Chains A and B, each alone.
Chain A
Amino acid sequence: MATILVAMSFSINTKANKGKLIIDFNNYVGNEILKLDSAVYKNEAGQSFSVTNFKYYVGNFHLRKADGTEYISSDYYLIKEDEQQTKQIMLNDIPEGNYVSCTFTLGVDSAHNCSGAQSGALDPANGMFWAWNTGYIFMKLEGKSPSSNLSGHTFEFHIGGYKYPNNCIREINLKTNNLIISSDKTSSIEIKTDAEEVMKTPVTIDLSKLPSVTDSRNATIIANNYMDMFSVLKINNEK
Protein backbone atom coordinates (compact mmCIF):
# COMPACT_ATOMS: atom_id res chain seq x y z
CA MET A 1 0.00 0.00 0.00
CA ALA A 2 2.75 2.40 1.00
CA THR A 3 4.66 1.73 -2.20
CA ILE A 4 1.54 2.37 -4.29
CA LEU A 5 1.07 5.69 -2.53
CA VAL A 6 4.69 6.62 -3.11
CA ALA A 7 4.44 5.62 -6.75
CA MET A 8 1.24 7.63 -7.15
CA SER A 9 2.61 10.73 -5.55
CA PHE A 10 5.72 10.38 -7.69
CA SER A 11 3.69 10.22 -10.89
CA ILE A 12 1.55 13.16 -9.79
CA ASN A 13 4.68 15.12 -9.06
CA THR A 14 6.29 14.45 -12.41
CA LYS A 15 3.04 15.47 -14.07
CA ALA A 16 3.01 18.76 -12.27
CA ASN A 17 6.71 19.49 -12.75
CA LYS A 18 7.10 21.29 -15.97
CA GLY A 19 9.75 23.43 -17.58
CA LYS A 20 10.33 25.48 -20.69
CA LEU A 21 12.47 25.21 -23.76
CA ILE A 22 13.80 28.00 -25.94
CA ILE A 23 14.66 27.00 -29.47
CA ASP A 24 17.03 29.47 -31.06
CA PHE A 25 17.35 29.45 -34.83
CA ASN A 26 20.74 30.76 -35.95
CA ASN A 27 20.92 31.28 -39.68
CA TYR A 28 24.26 30.54 -41.31
CA VAL A 29 25.80 30.20 -44.72
CA GLY A 30 28.31 27.39 -44.37
CA ASN A 31 30.30 28.22 -41.26
CA GLU A 32 29.57 31.94 -41.24
CA ILE A 33 26.66 33.61 -39.52
CA LEU A 34 24.30 34.86 -42.22
CA LYS A 35 24.56 38.55 -42.93
CA LEU A 36 21.94 39.92 -45.28
CA ASP A 37 22.85 42.00 -48.35
CA SER A 38 26.52 42.80 -47.78
CA ALA A 39 28.28 39.48 -47.21
CA VAL A 40 29.34 37.51 -50.28
CA TYR A 41 29.39 33.72 -50.12
CA LYS A 42 30.29 30.89 -52.47
CA ASN A 43 27.89 28.05 -53.21
CA GLU A 44 28.72 24.42 -53.93
CA ALA A 45 28.87 25.19 -57.66
CA GLY A 46 31.57 27.78 -56.94
CA GLN A 47 29.31 30.75 -57.71
CA SER A 48 29.41 33.81 -55.50
CA PHE A 49 26.12 35.06 -54.07
CA SER A 50 24.63 37.30 -51.40
CA VAL A 51 21.37 36.80 -49.53
CA THR A 52 18.66 39.46 -49.36
CA ASN A 53 15.85 37.47 -47.74
CA PHE A 54 15.60 34.21 -45.82
CA LYS A 55 12.36 33.03 -44.17
CA TYR A 56 10.89 29.66 -43.30
CA TYR A 57 8.07 28.01 -41.41
CA VAL A 58 8.73 25.54 -38.61
CA GLY A 59 6.20 23.91 -36.34
CA ASN A 60 4.61 20.82 -34.90
CA PHE A 61 7.45 20.22 -32.46
CA HIS A 62 7.78 16.77 -30.88
CA LEU A 63 10.23 16.23 -28.03
CA ARG A 64 10.83 12.54 -27.38
CA LYS A 65 12.15 10.77 -24.31
CA ALA A 66 14.11 7.51 -24.47
CA ASP A 67 11.00 5.57 -23.37
CA GLY A 68 9.09 6.94 -26.35
CA THR A 69 6.85 9.38 -24.47
CA GLU A 70 6.43 12.64 -26.32
CA TYR A 71 5.75 16.29 -25.69
CA ILE A 72 3.91 17.85 -28.63
CA SER A 73 3.37 21.48 -29.54
CA SER A 74 1.39 21.80 -32.76
CA ASP A 75 1.92 25.55 -33.28
CA TYR A 76 3.67 27.06 -36.29
CA TYR A 77 6.30 29.78 -36.35
CA LEU A 78 7.65 31.93 -39.14
CA ILE A 79 11.39 32.46 -38.79
CA LYS A 80 12.50 35.67 -40.51
CA GLU A 81 16.19 36.49 -40.81
CA ASP A 82 15.48 40.23 -40.68
CA GLU A 83 13.39 40.07 -37.49
CA GLN A 84 15.47 38.97 -34.54
CA GLN A 85 12.54 38.23 -32.23
CA THR A 86 11.08 35.68 -34.67
CA LYS A 87 14.20 33.52 -34.47
CA GLN A 88 13.66 32.50 -30.90
CA ILE A 89 10.67 30.38 -30.02
CA MET A 90 9.50 29.21 -26.63
CA LEU A 91 7.82 25.91 -25.82
CA ASN A 92 5.95 25.82 -22.52
CA ASP A 93 4.66 23.22 -20.07
CA ILE A 94 7.15 20.50 -20.96
CA PRO A 95 7.20 17.64 -18.44
CA GLU A 96 10.64 17.42 -16.86
CA GLY A 97 13.07 14.76 -17.95
CA ASN A 98 15.71 13.87 -20.45
CA TYR A 99 14.73 14.26 -24.11
CA VAL A 100 16.66 12.38 -26.75
CA SER A 101 15.25 13.93 -29.90
CA CYS A 102 13.46 16.94 -31.28
CA THR A 103 11.35 16.50 -34.40
CA PHE A 104 9.62 19.30 -36.25
CA THR A 105 8.04 20.16 -39.57
CA LEU A 106 9.74 22.44 -42.03
CA GLY A 107 6.75 23.93 -43.82
CA VAL A 108 3.06 23.78 -42.99
CA ASP A 109 1.08 20.53 -42.81
CA SER A 110 -1.60 19.89 -45.42
CA ALA A 111 -4.55 20.48 -43.06
CA HIS A 112 -3.34 23.99 -42.33
CA ASN A 113 -2.91 24.61 -46.05
CA CYS A 114 -6.62 23.92 -46.55
CA SER A 115 -8.14 25.57 -43.47
CA GLY A 116 -9.00 28.96 -44.96
CA ALA A 117 -8.18 32.25 -43.27
CA GLN A 118 -5.82 32.03 -40.30
CA SER A 119 -3.98 34.49 -38.09
CA GLY A 120 -0.64 34.79 -36.30
CA ALA A 121 2.28 33.09 -38.05
CA LEU A 122 -0.15 31.63 -40.58
CA ASP A 123 -1.74 34.99 -41.49
CA PRO A 124 -1.60 35.18 -45.30
CA ALA A 125 -0.74 38.88 -44.88
CA ASN A 126 2.76 37.72 -43.86
CA GLY A 127 3.50 37.30 -47.55
CA MET A 128 4.33 33.61 -47.27
CA PHE A 129 1.16 32.56 -49.09
CA TRP A 130 0.18 31.79 -52.66
CA ALA A 131 -3.31 33.11 -53.33
CA TRP A 132 -3.77 31.86 -56.92
CA ASN A 133 -2.78 28.28 -56.08
CA THR A 134 -3.67 28.12 -52.42
CA GLY A 135 -0.89 27.20 -50.07
CA TYR A 136 1.85 28.50 -47.85
CA ILE A 137 5.34 29.23 -49.08
CA PHE A 138 7.38 27.12 -46.68
CA MET A 139 10.72 28.72 -47.40
CA LYS A 140 11.96 31.81 -49.20
CA LEU A 141 15.62 32.30 -50.04
CA GLU A 142 16.32 35.33 -52.21
CA GLY A 143 19.56 36.96 -53.18
CA LYS A 144 21.90 38.13 -55.88
CA SER A 145 24.56 36.33 -57.84
CA PRO A 146 26.57 37.40 -60.89
CA SER A 147 25.89 33.91 -62.22
CA SER A 148 22.13 34.51 -62.41
CA ASN A 149 20.86 35.82 -65.72
CA LEU A 150 17.61 37.15 -64.24
CA SER A 151 17.25 40.92 -64.32
CA GLY A 152 19.30 42.46 -61.52
CA HIS A 153 21.21 39.15 -61.27
CA THR A 154 18.75 38.04 -58.62
CA PHE A 155 17.82 34.52 -57.65
CA GLU A 156 14.77 33.38 -55.74
CA PHE A 157 13.60 30.12 -54.29
CA HIS A 158 10.01 30.19 -53.07
CA ILE A 159 9.26 26.66 -52.02
CA GLY A 160 5.86 25.32 -51.00
CA GLY A 161 3.34 22.67 -51.98
CA TYR A 162 1.51 20.14 -49.83
CA LYS A 163 0.12 17.86 -52.52
CA TYR A 164 1.62 14.77 -54.09
CA PRO A 165 3.82 14.65 -56.19
CA ASN A 166 5.08 18.13 -55.31
CA ASN A 167 4.93 17.83 -51.55
CA CYS A 168 7.69 19.97 -50.04
CA ILE A 169 6.81 19.44 -46.37
CA ARG A 170 9.84 17.89 -44.68
CA GLU A 171 10.13 16.37 -41.24
CA ILE A 172 13.33 17.33 -39.45
CA ASN A 173 14.70 15.01 -36.81
CA LEU A 174 17.51 16.20 -34.54
CA LYS A 175 19.21 14.17 -31.81
CA THR A 176 19.20 15.99 -28.46
CA ASN A 177 20.63 13.27 -26.20
CA ASN A 178 21.62 15.54 -23.34
CA LEU A 179 18.60 17.88 -23.30
CA ILE A 180 17.19 18.03 -19.80
CA ILE A 181 14.01 19.86 -18.88
CA SER A 182 13.77 20.69 -15.19
CA SER A 183 10.82 21.90 -13.22
CA ASP A 184 10.29 25.67 -13.49
CA LYS A 185 13.53 26.06 -15.43
CA THR A 186 14.20 27.07 -19.02
CA SER A 187 16.60 25.02 -21.12
CA SER A 188 17.55 25.95 -24.63
CA ILE A 189 18.66 24.47 -27.93
CA GLU A 190 20.76 26.45 -30.35
CA ILE A 191 19.95 25.31 -33.86
CA LYS A 192 22.05 26.10 -36.88
CA THR A 193 20.14 26.66 -40.13
CA ASP A 194 22.55 26.57 -43.03
CA ALA A 195 21.01 28.48 -45.96
CA GLU A 196 23.75 27.15 -48.24
CA GLU A 197 22.16 23.70 -47.96
CA VAL A 198 19.22 25.00 -50.03
CA MET A 199 21.60 24.88 -52.99
CA LYS A 200 23.35 21.57 -52.27
CA THR A 201 23.08 17.92 -51.27
CA PRO A 202 21.79 15.99 -52.91
CA VAL A 203 21.48 18.32 -55.90
CA THR A 204 24.04 21.07 -56.52
CA ILE A 205 22.14 24.09 -57.84
CA ASP A 206 23.76 26.02 -60.65
CA LEU A 207 22.42 29.56 -60.41
CA SER A 208 23.11 30.18 -64.08
CA LYS A 209 20.70 27.37 -64.96
CA LEU A 210 18.19 27.48 -62.11
CA PRO A 211 18.03 30.99 -60.63
CA SER A 212 14.35 30.78 -59.77
CA VAL A 213 11.92 28.21 -58.40
CA THR A 214 8.56 29.76 -57.58
CA ASP A 215 5.97 27.05 -58.17
CA SER A 216 5.76 23.28 -58.12
CA ARG A 217 8.29 22.87 -60.93
CA ASN A 218 11.65 21.80 -59.42
CA ALA A 219 10.32 22.54 -55.93
CA THR A 220 10.94 19.05 -54.55
CA ILE A 221 14.58 19.24 -55.65
CA ILE A 222 15.04 22.25 -53.37
CA ALA A 223 12.94 20.62 -50.63
CA ASN A 224 15.21 17.58 -50.65
CA ASN A 225 18.14 19.97 -50.37
CA TYR A 226 16.78 22.04 -47.48
CA MET A 227 15.86 18.93 -45.55
CA ASP A 228 19.36 18.74 -44.06
CA MET A 229 19.94 22.42 -43.35
CA PHE A 230 19.33 22.07 -39.61
CA SER A 231 21.77 20.87 -36.97
CA VAL A 232 22.17 21.28 -33.22
CA LEU A 233 24.92 23.73 -32.23
CA LYS A 234 24.57 23.58 -28.49
CA ILE A 235 22.22 22.56 -25.72
CA ASN A 236 21.99 24.57 -22.49
CA ASN A 237 20.31 22.87 -19.59
CA GLU A 238 19.12 25.03 -16.74
CA LYS A 239 18.84 22.83 -13.67
Chain B
Amino acid sequence: MRSKLVYIILFLFLSVLIFNSFIDDNPYFKITSDDVILTIPKGFPKPKYNFKNNTITPEKFVLGRKLFYDPILSKDSSMSCASCHQRIAAFAHIDHALSHGINGLIGKRNVMPLQNLIWKDAYMWDGGVNNLEVQPINPITNAVEMNETLSNVVNKLKHNKVYAEEFKKAFNDTIINSERLLKTLAQFTGLMISSNSRYDKFVEGTIQFSDTEMNGLKIFKTKCANCHKGTLFTDNSYRNNGIKPDTSLKDKGRETITNNPEDNNTFQVPSLRNVEMTYPYMHDGRFRNLQQVLNHYSNPKNFDKNYDLSLNKIGVLSEQEKGDVIAFLKTLTDKVFLYDRRFADPNMK
Protein backbone atom coordinates (compact mmCIF):
# COMPACT_ATOMS: atom_id res chain seq x y z
CA MET B 1 0.00 0.00 0.00
CA ARG B 2 2.73 2.41 1.07
CA SER B 3 4.95 1.52 -1.91
CA LYS B 4 1.99 2.24 -4.20
CA LEU B 5 1.68 5.68 -2.66
CA VAL B 6 5.38 6.31 -3.19
CA TYR B 7 4.97 5.37 -6.85
CA ILE B 8 2.05 7.69 -7.27
CA ILE B 9 3.94 10.58 -5.66
CA LEU B 10 7.00 9.82 -7.77
CA PHE B 11 4.81 9.70 -10.89
CA LEU B 12 3.15 13.01 -10.06
CA PHE B 13 6.52 14.59 -9.31
CA LEU B 14 7.93 13.39 -12.62
CA SER B 15 4.87 14.50 -14.59
CA VAL B 16 5.16 17.96 -13.05
CA LEU B 17 8.86 18.03 -13.97
CA ILE B 18 8.21 16.98 -17.57
CA PHE B 19 5.26 19.30 -17.81
CA ASN B 20 7.30 22.25 -16.54
CA SER B 21 10.02 21.65 -19.08
CA PHE B 22 7.39 22.25 -21.80
CA ILE B 23 6.51 25.74 -20.80
CA ASP B 24 8.42 28.88 -20.91
CA ASP B 25 10.18 30.44 -17.97
CA ASN B 26 8.58 33.87 -18.02
CA PRO B 27 5.71 33.52 -15.56
CA TYR B 28 3.66 36.17 -17.37
CA PHE B 29 3.33 33.95 -20.44
CA LYS B 30 3.35 30.64 -18.64
CA ILE B 31 0.15 28.64 -19.03
CA THR B 32 -0.51 26.03 -16.37
CA SER B 33 -3.39 23.62 -16.07
CA ASP B 34 -5.01 26.08 -13.64
CA ASP B 35 -5.03 28.70 -16.40
CA VAL B 36 -7.13 26.60 -18.73
CA ILE B 37 -9.90 25.54 -16.39
CA LEU B 38 -13.26 26.53 -17.84
CA THR B 39 -15.38 28.12 -15.12
CA ILE B 40 -18.88 29.24 -15.96
CA PRO B 41 -19.36 32.63 -14.30
CA LYS B 42 -22.21 32.95 -11.84
CA GLY B 43 -25.42 33.92 -13.57
CA PHE B 44 -24.22 32.92 -17.02
CA PRO B 45 -26.29 30.36 -18.95
CA LYS B 46 -25.05 26.97 -20.11
CA PRO B 47 -22.50 27.44 -22.91
CA LYS B 48 -23.46 26.33 -26.39
CA TYR B 49 -19.91 25.32 -27.25
CA ASN B 50 -18.77 22.89 -24.58
CA PHE B 51 -15.27 21.63 -25.56
CA LYS B 52 -16.71 18.10 -25.51
CA ASN B 53 -14.67 17.01 -28.52
CA ASN B 54 -11.87 19.47 -27.83
CA THR B 55 -10.48 18.84 -24.35
CA ILE B 56 -8.53 21.87 -23.18
CA THR B 57 -4.90 21.38 -22.18
CA PRO B 58 -2.22 23.99 -21.50
CA GLU B 59 -0.20 22.79 -24.53
CA LYS B 60 -3.15 23.05 -26.92
CA PHE B 61 -4.11 26.45 -25.54
CA VAL B 62 -0.51 27.65 -25.98
CA LEU B 63 -0.52 26.38 -29.58
CA GLY B 64 -3.81 28.17 -30.22
CA ARG B 65 -2.32 31.35 -28.75
CA LYS B 66 0.76 31.05 -30.97
CA LEU B 67 -1.40 30.58 -34.07
CA PHE B 68 -3.65 33.49 -33.14
CA TYR B 69 -0.67 35.83 -33.02
CA ASP B 70 1.14 34.39 -36.05
CA PRO B 71 0.95 36.05 -39.52
CA ILE B 72 1.74 32.64 -41.04
CA LEU B 73 -2.04 32.28 -41.36
CA SER B 74 -2.17 34.98 -44.06
CA LYS B 75 -1.14 34.62 -47.68
CA ASP B 76 1.84 37.01 -47.54
CA SER B 77 2.62 36.48 -43.85
CA SER B 78 1.69 40.07 -43.11
CA MET B 79 -1.36 39.64 -40.89
CA SER B 80 -2.33 37.56 -37.90
CA CYS B 81 -5.73 37.23 -36.23
CA ALA B 82 -4.44 39.77 -33.72
CA SER B 83 -3.86 42.35 -36.46
CA CYS B 84 -7.58 43.08 -36.29
CA HIS B 85 -8.45 41.54 -32.92
CA GLN B 86 -6.66 43.62 -30.29
CA ARG B 87 -6.61 42.44 -26.71
CA ILE B 88 -7.08 45.91 -25.25
CA ALA B 89 -10.27 46.32 -27.34
CA ALA B 90 -11.79 43.05 -26.16
CA PHE B 91 -10.30 41.75 -29.41
CA ALA B 92 -12.15 44.19 -31.64
CA HIS B 93 -10.21 46.67 -33.81
CA ILE B 94 -9.95 50.06 -32.13
CA ASP B 95 -10.67 53.04 -34.35
CA HIS B 96 -11.12 51.01 -37.53
CA ALA B 97 -14.60 51.15 -39.01
CA LEU B 98 -14.19 48.29 -41.48
CA SER B 99 -12.01 45.19 -41.42
CA HIS B 100 -8.57 45.43 -42.96
CA GLY B 101 -6.87 42.79 -45.07
CA ILE B 102 -3.57 42.09 -46.78
CA ASN B 103 -2.35 44.58 -49.39
CA GLY B 104 -4.34 47.35 -47.73
CA LEU B 105 -7.67 45.83 -48.71
CA ILE B 106 -10.77 46.93 -46.82
CA GLY B 107 -13.72 44.67 -46.02
CA LYS B 108 -17.34 45.64 -45.64
CA ARG B 109 -17.96 45.02 -41.94
CA ASN B 110 -16.66 46.18 -38.57
CA VAL B 111 -14.49 43.70 -36.65
CA MET B 112 -16.51 42.04 -33.90
CA PRO B 113 -14.98 41.65 -30.43
CA LEU B 114 -13.98 38.17 -29.26
CA GLN B 115 -15.48 37.47 -25.88
CA ASN B 116 -17.95 35.01 -24.38
CA LEU B 117 -17.93 33.17 -27.70
CA ILE B 118 -18.91 29.83 -26.21
CA TRP B 119 -22.37 31.20 -25.49
CA LYS B 120 -23.06 31.63 -29.19
CA ASP B 121 -24.05 29.17 -31.86
CA ALA B 122 -24.03 31.65 -34.72
CA TYR B 123 -21.01 33.79 -35.46
CA MET B 124 -20.42 36.88 -37.62
CA TRP B 125 -22.76 39.85 -38.07
CA ASP B 126 -24.98 37.71 -40.29
CA GLY B 127 -24.82 34.56 -38.14
CA GLY B 128 -23.65 32.44 -41.07
CA VAL B 129 -21.11 30.41 -39.10
CA ASN B 130 -22.53 27.63 -36.92
CA ASN B 131 -19.58 26.49 -34.80
CA LEU B 132 -16.74 28.30 -33.03
CA GLU B 133 -14.20 25.89 -34.50
CA VAL B 134 -14.93 26.69 -38.14
CA GLN B 135 -15.19 30.45 -37.68
CA PRO B 136 -11.48 31.21 -38.37
CA ILE B 137 -11.75 29.70 -41.86
CA ASN B 138 -13.54 32.92 -42.83
CA PRO B 139 -10.83 35.50 -42.12
CA ILE B 140 -8.15 33.06 -43.32
CA THR B 141 -9.77 32.48 -46.72
CA ASN B 142 -11.55 35.79 -47.27
CA ALA B 143 -9.98 37.54 -50.28
CA VAL B 144 -10.05 40.93 -48.54
CA GLU B 145 -8.72 39.60 -45.24
CA MET B 146 -5.92 37.00 -45.07
CA ASN B 147 -6.63 35.63 -48.58
CA GLU B 148 -5.03 32.26 -47.89
CA THR B 149 -6.30 28.71 -48.41
CA LEU B 150 -6.75 26.39 -45.48
CA SER B 151 -4.73 23.66 -47.19
CA ASN B 152 -1.84 26.05 -47.77
CA VAL B 153 -1.82 27.17 -44.14
CA VAL B 154 -1.60 23.53 -43.10
CA ASN B 155 1.19 23.06 -45.61
CA LYS B 156 3.17 25.99 -44.22
CA LEU B 157 2.75 24.67 -40.69
CA LYS B 158 3.91 21.22 -41.75
CA HIS B 159 7.12 22.69 -43.14
CA ASN B 160 7.82 24.79 -40.08
CA LYS B 161 10.16 23.22 -37.51
CA VAL B 162 8.81 25.21 -34.57
CA TYR B 163 5.24 24.16 -35.32
CA ALA B 164 6.25 20.54 -35.82
CA GLU B 165 7.50 20.71 -32.24
CA GLU B 166 4.47 22.60 -30.89
CA PHE B 167 1.93 20.26 -32.51
CA LYS B 168 3.83 17.31 -31.11
CA LYS B 169 3.74 18.81 -27.63
CA ALA B 170 0.02 19.41 -27.94
CA PHE B 171 -1.08 16.14 -29.56
CA ASN B 172 1.71 13.66 -28.80
CA ASP B 173 2.12 12.77 -32.45
CA THR B 174 3.32 14.40 -35.65
CA ILE B 175 0.00 14.94 -37.41
CA ILE B 176 -0.71 18.52 -38.47
CA ASN B 177 -4.10 19.16 -40.07
CA SER B 178 -6.79 21.80 -40.24
CA GLU B 179 -8.87 20.12 -37.54
CA ARG B 180 -6.06 20.54 -35.02
CA LEU B 181 -5.31 24.07 -36.15
CA LEU B 182 -8.95 25.07 -35.75
CA LYS B 183 -9.51 23.24 -32.48
CA THR B 184 -6.53 24.81 -30.75
CA LEU B 185 -7.66 28.24 -31.94
CA ALA B 186 -11.08 27.46 -30.46
CA GLN B 187 -9.43 26.65 -27.13
CA PHE B 188 -7.70 30.02 -27.12
CA THR B 189 -10.68 32.11 -28.20
CA GLY B 190 -13.23 29.99 -26.32
CA LEU B 191 -11.61 30.80 -22.99
CA MET B 192 -11.89 34.55 -23.66
CA ILE B 193 -14.57 35.14 -21.06
CA SER B 194 -15.54 38.55 -19.78
CA SER B 195 -17.44 38.45 -16.50
CA ASN B 196 -15.52 40.74 -14.13
CA SER B 197 -16.76 44.21 -14.99
CA ARG B 198 -17.92 46.74 -12.42
CA TYR B 199 -21.46 45.81 -13.48
CA ASP B 200 -20.80 42.18 -12.48
CA LYS B 201 -19.51 43.33 -9.10
CA PHE B 202 -22.59 45.52 -8.72
CA VAL B 203 -24.81 42.49 -9.45
CA GLU B 204 -22.83 40.48 -6.89
CA GLY B 205 -23.44 43.26 -4.41
CA THR B 206 -19.76 43.96 -3.78
CA ILE B 207 -19.75 47.51 -5.17
CA GLN B 208 -22.28 50.32 -5.55
CA PHE B 209 -23.15 52.36 -8.63
CA SER B 210 -23.09 56.15 -8.71
CA ASP B 211 -26.46 57.90 -9.15
CA THR B 212 -25.65 58.49 -12.82
CA GLU B 213 -24.78 54.84 -13.45
CA MET B 214 -27.85 53.75 -11.50
CA ASN B 215 -30.10 55.96 -13.57
CA GLY B 216 -28.37 54.75 -16.75
CA LEU B 217 -29.05 51.15 -15.76
CA LYS B 218 -32.70 51.96 -15.15
CA ILE B 219 -33.10 53.56 -18.60
CA PHE B 220 -31.13 50.72 -20.19
CA LYS B 221 -33.40 48.08 -18.66
CA THR B 222 -36.59 49.61 -19.97
CA LYS B 223 -35.35 50.84 -23.36
CA CYS B 224 -32.39 48.73 -24.51
CA ALA B 225 -32.48 45.37 -22.73
CA ASN B 226 -35.20 44.00 -24.99
CA CYS B 227 -32.45 43.22 -27.52
CA HIS B 228 -29.31 43.63 -25.40
CA LYS B 229 -30.69 41.03 -23.06
CA GLY B 230 -29.55 39.32 -19.90
CA THR B 231 -26.09 38.79 -18.58
CA LEU B 232 -24.62 38.45 -22.09
CA PHE B 233 -26.27 41.71 -23.22
CA THR B 234 -27.62 40.20 -26.42
CA ASP B 235 -30.52 37.98 -27.39
CA ASN B 236 -28.47 36.80 -30.41
CA SER B 237 -31.29 37.74 -32.77
CA TYR B 238 -30.99 39.56 -36.10
CA ARG B 239 -32.53 42.99 -36.29
CA ASN B 240 -32.63 46.14 -38.32
CA ASN B 241 -31.44 48.69 -35.76
CA GLY B 242 -32.67 51.63 -37.77
CA ILE B 243 -29.46 52.68 -39.47
CA LYS B 244 -29.94 53.22 -43.18
CA PRO B 245 -27.84 50.88 -45.34
CA ASP B 246 -24.62 52.27 -46.75
CA THR B 247 -25.34 51.34 -50.37
CA SER B 248 -21.66 51.49 -51.31
CA LEU B 249 -21.06 48.39 -49.15
CA LYS B 250 -23.75 46.28 -50.89
CA ASP B 251 -24.33 44.39 -47.64
CA LYS B 252 -27.63 42.55 -47.34
CA GLY B 253 -26.89 41.44 -43.76
CA ARG B 254 -28.66 38.30 -42.64
CA GLU B 255 -30.31 37.96 -46.06
CA THR B 256 -26.90 36.90 -47.42
CA ILE B 257 -27.31 33.72 -45.38
CA THR B 258 -31.03 33.03 -45.61
CA ASN B 259 -31.85 34.51 -49.04
CA ASN B 260 -35.01 35.72 -47.33
CA PRO B 261 -35.79 39.35 -48.30
CA GLU B 262 -37.32 39.87 -44.84
CA ASP B 263 -33.84 39.53 -43.39
CA ASN B 264 -32.44 42.30 -45.54
CA ASN B 265 -30.30 44.77 -43.57
CA THR B 266 -30.67 42.83 -40.32
CA PHE B 267 -27.58 42.04 -38.27
CA GLN B 268 -26.83 40.10 -35.11
CA VAL B 269 -27.43 42.08 -31.93
CA PRO B 270 -23.92 42.47 -30.48
CA SER B 271 -23.09 42.07 -26.80
CA LEU B 272 -22.35 45.34 -25.04
CA ARG B 273 -19.72 43.99 -22.71
CA ASN B 274 -16.56 46.11 -23.00
CA VAL B 275 -18.43 48.38 -25.41
CA GLU B 276 -16.40 51.37 -24.17
CA MET B 277 -13.31 49.79 -25.79
CA THR B 278 -14.79 48.44 -29.03
CA TYR B 279 -15.33 51.73 -30.90
CA PRO B 280 -16.26 52.49 -33.62
CA TYR B 281 -19.77 51.04 -33.57
CA MET B 282 -22.40 49.30 -35.71
CA HIS B 283 -21.82 46.59 -38.33
CA ASP B 284 -20.17 49.13 -40.63
CA GLY B 285 -18.41 51.09 -37.91
CA ARG B 286 -20.16 54.32 -38.86
CA PHE B 287 -20.37 55.78 -35.35
CA ARG B 288 -17.13 56.93 -33.74
CA ASN B 289 -18.35 57.03 -30.17
CA LEU B 290 -21.17 56.06 -27.84
CA GLN B 291 -22.62 59.56 -27.96
CA GLN B 292 -23.28 59.12 -31.69
CA VAL B 293 -24.85 55.72 -31.04
CA LEU B 294 -27.20 57.16 -28.44
CA ASN B 295 -28.00 60.09 -30.73
CA HIS B 296 -29.04 57.62 -33.42
CA TYR B 297 -31.34 55.56 -31.20
CA SER B 298 -32.86 58.73 -29.83
CA ASN B 299 -33.77 60.07 -33.27
CA PRO B 300 -36.61 57.87 -34.63
CA LYS B 301 -37.30 60.29 -37.47
CA ASN B 302 -34.05 59.23 -39.04
CA PHE B 303 -34.61 55.44 -38.81
CA ASP B 304 -34.49 53.16 -41.84
CA LYS B 305 -38.04 52.40 -42.98
CA ASN B 306 -37.84 48.71 -41.99
CA TYR B 307 -36.49 49.34 -38.50
CA ASP B 308 -37.13 46.83 -35.73
CA LEU B 309 -40.22 47.78 -33.75
CA SER B 310 -38.45 47.26 -30.41
CA LEU B 311 -36.76 50.58 -31.12
CA ASN B 312 -40.09 52.29 -30.44
CA LYS B 313 -39.47 51.65 -26.74
CA ILE B 314 -36.58 54.09 -26.75
CA GLY B 315 -38.30 57.30 -27.79
CA VAL B 316 -36.42 60.55 -27.57
CA LEU B 317 -33.76 60.65 -24.86
CA SER B 318 -32.63 63.84 -23.18
CA GLU B 319 -28.91 64.69 -23.16
CA GLN B 320 -28.91 63.87 -19.45
CA GLU B 321 -30.43 60.44 -20.12
CA LYS B 322 -27.95 59.69 -22.89
CA GLY B 323 -25.09 60.59 -20.59
CA ASP B 324 -26.46 58.35 -17.86
CA VAL B 325 -26.80 55.40 -20.26
CA ILE B 326 -23.22 55.91 -21.43
CA ALA B 327 -22.03 56.02 -17.81
CA PHE B 328 -23.80 52.71 -17.26
CA LEU B 329 -22.34 51.18 -20.43
CA LYS B 330 -18.87 52.00 -19.16
CA THR B 331 -19.49 49.82 -16.10
CA LEU B 332 -19.38 46.88 -18.56
CA THR B 333 -15.66 47.42 -19.10
CA ASP B 334 -13.84 44.40 -17.71
CA LYS B 335 -10.23 45.21 -16.94
CA VAL B 336 -9.56 41.74 -15.58
CA PHE B 337 -10.35 40.40 -19.04
CA LEU B 338 -8.69 43.19 -21.02
CA TYR B 339 -5.42 42.72 -19.13
CA ASP B 340 -5.64 38.95 -18.73
CA ARG B 341 -2.05 37.77 -19.27
CA ARG B 342 -3.25 34.44 -20.71
CA PHE B 343 -4.37 36.23 -23.86
CA ALA B 344 -1.29 38.41 -24.28
CA ASP B 345 0.91 38.18 -27.36
CA PRO B 346 3.54 35.53 -26.56
CA ASN B 347 5.96 37.14 -29.02
CA MET B 348 6.35 40.06 -26.62
CA LYS B 349 8.37 38.02 -24.18
Chain A interface (Cβ within 8 Å of chain B)?
A: 113-119, 123-127, 129, 131-135, 215-217
Contacts and interface: CB of A to CB of B under 8 A. Distances in A.
17 contacts: A113-B130, A114-B130, A116-B131, A117-B181, A119-B179, A123-B177, A125-B151, A125-B154, A125-B177, A129-B137, A132-B124, A132-B138, A133-B128, A133-B257, A134-B130, A135-B130, A217-B259
Interface of B: 53-54, 124, 128-134, 137-138, 141-142, 149-151, 154, 177-183, 186, 256-257, 259
Complex A-B, nearest 6 residue pairs according to Cβ-Cβ distance, in ascending order: A116-B133, A117-B182, A131-B137, A116-B131, A119-B179, A117-B133
Contact of A134 (B134, B149, B183): B134
Given A125-B178, A215-B259, 18 more contacts: A115-B53, A116-B133, A116-B182, A117-B186, A119-B178, A119-B179, A123-B177, A124-B178, A125-B150, A125-B177, A126-B151, A127-B151, A131-B129, A131-B142, A132-B129, A132-B256, A133-B257, A216-B259
Given A123-B178, A124-B178, A125-B154, A116 B134 contact: yes
B-side binding surface: helix, strand, loop or mixed? Answer: helix
Contacts of B183: 116-117
A113 B134 CA distance: 10
B137 A124 contact: yes
Contacts of B141: 131
Given A117-B178, A119-B179, A123-B179, A132 B128 contact: yes
Nearest to A215: B259
Nearest to A135: B130
Contacts of B151: 125-127
Nearest to B152: A125
A123 B183 CA distance: 12
Contacts of B186: 116-117
User: In the complex, which of the residues A118, A123, A125 has the most CB atoms of chain B within 10 Å of its own CB atom?
Assistant: A125
Contacts of B150: 124-125
B131 A131 contact: no
Given A116-B186, A215-B259, A217-B259, A134 B128 contact: yes
A215 B256 CA distance: 10
A196 B118 CA distance: 44
Contacts of B133: 116-117
